[in-house]
Amino acid sequence: GRICPIETPEGPNIGLIASLATFARVNDFGFLETPYRKVENGRVTGQIDYLTADREENYTVAQANAQIDEKGHFTTPRVTCRCKGDFVDVEPGKVDYMDVSPKQLVSVAASLIPFLEHDDANRALMGSNMQRQAVPLLVTEAPFVATGLEERVARDSRAVLVSEEAGKVASVNGNYIIVSPDGKVPEGKKRIKTDAAAGLHVYPVRKFMRSNAATCINQKILVEKGATIKKGQVLADGPCTQNGELALGRNVLCAFMPWNG
């Protein structure tokens, strides 16, 4: 849950360059940590603890997909866990921690592949690397089959323009979006700037800019003048998103037939 076992270059640096897992972080001492849910007396609590690899070995950790009820109690008499590098079946009362998500094992790129556990490891490696090589499309299309991480990736990569506060759209053009509490533009000002105290926000829109990879960065506005905006709402799509969701390619209609017909 700290270094992705899938995503790595295919060239001479294979295995030498690795990616952080989805929920991993680097602590103050430079060690990698990953989060776990605390388990007390067979009940999963809301407490989250970050553990390093050496500390994790001292605990019995249940898998994220272990069955629990509404109150957090394990529903099975035996729980499959990791303990000191081995897999064991223990009673719920002997479980110390539980993984927060099945996705914490792999990186963000690998977790965007649907049904990853059914893919060959070599194909998953290529799929993870090729997502970074995607070229922006003229007409983006979000995937029909997704993993649920697409929207978070689009937001965290700053590809989309997100509203910082609630309000109404006062003005929209090709260069910027103005959001104010009452939906009106301040009068008597030639150049309007963001005034957080007054609830006025000016969001510049990036149009046809060059990226470091020599591709086109073009944000497409999703809101109209007079629209009511919520905090965190997507105001403009990026070059690789549709309605705030990551869209790297196209949905292909295909058919397949088993080898024996």
- Reported in sequence order, the residue ranges of the chain that DSSP labels E, i.e. its strands, are 25-26, 32-40, 43-51, 61-62, 79-83, 86-90, 97-99, 161-162, 167-172, 176-180, 201-204, 209-210, 216-217, 220-221, 228-229, 234-237, 241-242, 245-246
- Model confidence pLDDT, tens digit, residues 164-223: 999 999 999 989 999 999 888 887 677 888 888 888 999 999 999 999 989 999 999 999
What percent of the chain shows pLDDT beyond 90?
82
Categorize the per-residue pLDDT at 261 as very low, low, confident or very high, splitting at 50, 70 and 90: low
Distance CA 14, CA 219 (A): 35
User: Is 238 found in the same domain as 159?
Assistant: yes
Note whether residue 190 is domain-resident.
Answer: yes
Note whether residue 49 is domain-resident.
Answer: yes
Residue at a domain's end among 42, 66, 100: 100
Range of the domain at 204: 150-246
User: Is 78 found in the same domain as 158?
Assistant: no
- Compute CA 88 distance to the chain's CA centroid, rounded to the nearest angstrom: 31
Q: What is the CATH number of the domain that holds 168?
A: 2.40.50.100
Note whether residue 261 is domain-resident.
Answer: no
User: Is 173 found in the same domain as 242?
Assistant: yes
Note whether residue 218 is domain-resident.
Answer: yes
- Model confidence pLDDT, tens digit, residues 61-101: 999 999 999 999 999 999 999 998 899 999 999 999 999 99
| Count of domains forming the chain | 2
Distance CA 128, CA 26 (A): 22
Note whether residue 258 is domain-resident.
Answer: no
Give residues with Cβ within 8 angstroms of 230, minimum separation 6: 163, 166
Give residues with Cβ within 8 angstroms of 85, minimum separation 6: 57
Note whether residue 42 is domain-resident.
Answer: yes
Note whether residue 45 is domain-resident.
Answer: yes
User: Is 242 found in the same domain as 157?
Assistant: yes
